[in-house]
Amino acid sequence: MPAQVTRHAGSFTVTSATPVLLYSDDPASRFAVQHFVDTLGQTSALRLHVADGGSVSPHAAIVFQLDPGAEVTQRGGYSLDVSPQGVRVIARTPVGLYYGGVTLGQLLTPNADRKAGVEVPALQIQDWPRFQWRGLMLDSARHFQSIADIEKLLDWMSLLKLNVLHWHLTDDQGWRLQIPKYPLLTKIGACRKAVGPDAALTGSPDKPYCGFYTDAEVRQIVQYAAQRHITIVPEIDMPGHAQAAIASYPWLGVTGERPPVGTDWGINTWLLKPDARTLKFVDAVMDEVMALFPSKYIHIGGDEAAKDQWNASPAVRAHMHALGLKNMDQLQDWFMTQVAEYLAKHGRTAVGWDEILHGNVPASTVVMSWHAPKGAEQALQLGHDVVMSTSPTLYLDHYQSDLHDEPPGRPDVESLEDVYDYDPVPSGATATQVAHILGVQANLWTEYMPTFARAEHAVFPRIAALAEVAWSPAATHDWHGFLDRMPVEFARWRALGVDYADSAFAPAFALQAGAQGTIDVALSNQAGFGAIHYTTDGSAPTLASMPYSKPLSLPAGRTTTLRAATFASDGFELAAPRTQTVDAAALRTRNSDQLDSCTNQVVLRLEDDRPLQGKRPVYKVDIENMCWLWKAAPLDEVRKIALTVGNLPWNFALWTDNAKVVKRPKATPAGEFQIHLDTCKGPLLATLPLAAATKTKLQTTLVATIPATQGTHDLCIFASGDPRDGLWAIGKMQLLKR
């Protein structure tokens, strides 16, 4: 939503014959205008051509004009006028022309299929960004993305007027940037043993998962981004999240031992040794980083540096005392300060996560605040510039809906609306402090994003909500207005090939036993937006199918295949059809998302590592406690229970507390699931041995007969054994009458 829009009487119709005239001869302006024309060519039926303004009189044309005296003065700003005589985009700088072109593309793409021409209402837009840092962080360490995919992401970001890609290039599980002076960083540090779903990517659990970016590739990406007015801010994380570096050069570490490149997710204790030799290494890495990345800002991490190894090391303790420092946090500040000062000497500014704040890093260091509200408040009080990147709201590795077909991720749900409603200004911040907020950023950590398709799903559409928070004045904040603009945004993304998530609009089904012999089915969607239409014959719903208005009453005695989809008022399909089988058996079936966790210690939604090809099941599971509850299960006439289970590799050593991991004695060598009545200590209803399930890596359905039980009861279901030896998860549980 632009900063200011004024509607006028009349309109202008753009056809493929409308000339696009550029009044500027600088290459960046030419790129901006050509990009507008090319993108429009992808997202509409209009095929425009750019001509040099030169001596041509701008009649009935789209005019792009670079004018140092243009009215809108803010960086990135532009004005866009549509009158019956034509369209004019004016800006002081090429970036303004680029963003003006993006906005004009938006105005031209409702009715995008009209070859005869698109009528645009007469209006005047004056527009500029609220924040100068409008970012997305991409973690290429946990999972790796191709150059071609990152270029796609950059292009799509630029269409949302985002201007920073924070590139997380190093972590425990991979070092992804080639550093010629230290070749082992990518020879050793860019490969790890395939973990979990990685095996599906490499083709075998025995094939390592590898990848890094060469100098040439980085230069290509940086240039591609710059053309789209995106700065790539590289991150080399230190002193923690450094296991891949220490695996490459053990002398970088405290113990001198060589760890493997990390395969467990979480916070680990392999820290860089904070001495002169390490700093020499870091300086050399920074030399290469500065040579490759023109960004003023260089991110040096600083997060989650658990000091176990530092505390245990006499050499590190002696170094701390020699520097006159009181504790290891101060030693981290000292280390970060050395790196920040090295960057400052070369005209660059260090950025660090908010754990760098113990009061001693230079005030010129930019703080990226992920701990709300404390991190940001503290940083602002200390006078730092701050980028707001609050966990969990802006952490896109959190899944965006509780639909069973949502891909894996971390709870809780961070919805499209949650991101849209994010307020980047901490309450109580003074005007001086607010001036230090550079902007906002969403972060895509990729532990659970093994493929680019998963990344796209996590990023889009929530990044559009973030983009509006970052660009538009707070006064324009309007969730319903934003929703109204989503269908055309989705249509553009569809034309561009963006694999966005429809989770916010997808129909969800709630089944409940109804009056005698019926089942009540309520349909809804997360955003409460659009019209849900459904069929009962298994066909795909269209706008002509039955509109949903109130809960359906369907017969329990036969099976109905209910399919529902969501449509915008113009008929655009906002969410693809979802299917629900409705019959009595459905009321006696639960998937893992419909069961409760017994303790909610560390619940994740995880993907099975098998099958290697094709769709893999996703389970909601507490990785510290393999225990589920089915509240008020209807047990009348139930004779058997079927449990479909899968086994997942354990790679969470660093996210869990060993003391809290629940282990249960096994009655047989392979272990078993037990089902107890009413509570986990209640009467044993069934035992389901796992011997058969351990013979395959695929899902297995176990069936047990249960004694006749009346009425509804809570059921407690748990697996014996230790989750660290292999994590059992329930895919589906069915109560069977025969």
Which residues are at the interface with ligand ACM (CB under 6 A)?
Answer: 303-304, 353, 370
Would you say 502 and 573 are in contact if contact means Cβ atoms under 8 Å apart?
A: no
> Nearer to ligand ACM by C-beta: 71 or 308?
308
Q: Is 225 helix (H, G, I), strand (E, B) or coil?
A: helix
CA angle 103–109–115, rounded 5-degree value: 135
Q: Which residues pair with 175 in a beta bridge?
A: 170
Alpha carbon distances (Å) from 76 to 79, 99, 103, 160? 10, 7, 12, 13
Would you say 50 and 16 are in contact if contact means Cβ atoms under 8 Å apart?
A: no
Kindly state the smallest distance separating residue 153's Cβ from ligand ACM, in Å.
Answer: 20
| Angle between helix 452-459 and 147-158 (nearest 10) | 20
> In terms of Cα–Cα distance, which of 333, 395, 393 is closest to 367?
333
Kindly state the smallest distance separating residue 166's Cβ from ligand ACM, in Å.
Answer: 10
List the catalytic residue out of 35, 143, 241, 436. Answer: 241
List the catalytic residue out of 171, 333, 355, 622. Answer: 171
> Nearer to ligand ACM by C-beta: 305 or 527?
305
| Angle between helix 147-158 and 215-227 (nearest 10) | 20
> In terms of Cα–Cα distance, which of 704, 646, 647 is closest to 676?
704
Kindly state the smallest distance separating residue 305's Cβ from ligand ACM, in Å.
Answer: 10
**Torsion sign over Cα 55, 57, 61, 66:** positive
Tokens of 137: 């962080």
- Separation between Cα atoms, residue 241 and residue 419, nearest integer Å: 27
Q: Is 113 helix (H, G, I), strand (E, B) or coil?
A: coil
Tokens of 607: 């993907």
Kindly state the smallest distance separating residue 222's Cβ from ligand ACM, in Å.
Answer: 23
Residue 143 phi/psi, 5° resolution?
A: -135, 155
> Nearer to ligand ACM by C-beta: 389 or 720?
389
Residue type, 62: I
- Separation between Cα atoms, residue 527 and residue 525, nearest integer Å: 6
Active site residue 119: no
> Nearer to ligand ACM by C-beta: 89 or 242?
242
> Nearer to ligand ACM by C-beta: 94 or 174?
174
Kindly state the smallest distance separating residue 396's Cβ from ligand ACM, in Å.
Answer: 12
Would you say 44 and 119 are in contact if contact means Cβ atoms under 8 Å apart?
A: no
* 364-403 as b/e: b if 16+ CB within 10 A: ebbbbbbbbeebbbbbbebebbbbbbbbbbbbbbbbbbbb
> Nearer to ligand ACM by C-beta: 270 or 353?
353
Alpha carbon distances (Å) from 320 to 243, 271, 314, 323? 22, 15, 10, 5
Would you say 297 and 351 are in contact if contact means Cβ atoms under 8 Å apart?
A: yes
In 451-572, where do the E strands start and end? Answer: 508-513, 518-524, 531-535, 546-547, 552-555, 560-567
Kindly state the smallest distance separating residue 133's Cβ from ligand ACM, in Å.
Answer: 16
Kindly state the smallest distance separating residue 304's Cβ from ligand ACM, in Å.
Answer: 5
Tokens of 520: 């009540």
- Name the helix (H) or strand (E) containing 444: strand 437-444
Q: Is 93 helix (H, G, I), strand (E, B) or coil?
A: coil
Q: Which residues pair with 439 in a beta bridge?
A: 133, 387
Kindly state the smallest distance separating residue 353's Cβ from ligand ACM, in Å.
Answer: 5
Residue nearest to ligand ACM (CB): 303
Kindly state the smallest distance separating residue 370's Cβ from ligand ACM, in Å.
Answer: 5
Active site residue 171: yes
Catalytic residues: 171, 241, 304
